């Protein structure tokens, strides 16, 4: 199973991180991506300072 499909399959919260600090969170990845584009335009911030990550909730088992 590829990583993207795996992340979509399980519930959890998406996090927007700037310099490894949590800026915002949402259960909707589109909201987080839109916020990242608005707050941290790629022409002003280095790519490695902004991250989007998902914290999975509940029990998950790798297959």
Q: Could you tell me if 15 and 29 are in contact, meaning their C-beta atoms sit under 8 angstroms apart? A: no
As given in the structure block, the two tokens for residue 14 are 């998406």
Query: In this structure, is residue 52 part of a structural domain?
Result: yes
CA distance 8 to 49: 24
19-40: pLDDT as tens digits: 999 999 999 999 999 999 999 9
pTM of structure: 0.73
Q: Residue 13 sits in which domain range?
A: 3-56
List, in order, residues 6 or more apart from 44 with CB less than 8 Å away.
Answer: none
Query: In this structure, is residue 63 part of a structural domain?
Result: no
pLDDT for 31: 95
- Residue 12 pLDDT more than 90? no
| Total domains, the chain | 1
Q: Mean per-residue pLDDT for 4-10?
A: 67
pLDDT for 42: 84
Residue 33's H or E segment, with its range, is helix 29-39
């Amino acid at each position: 199973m590829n990583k993207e499909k795996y992340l979509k399959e399980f519930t959890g919260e998406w996090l927007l991180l700037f310099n490894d600090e949590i800026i915002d969170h949402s259960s909707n990845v589109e909201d987080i991506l839109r916020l990242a584009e608005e707050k941290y335009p790629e022409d002003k911030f280095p790519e490695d300072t902004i991250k989007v990550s998902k914290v999975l909730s509940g029990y998950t088992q790798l297959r």
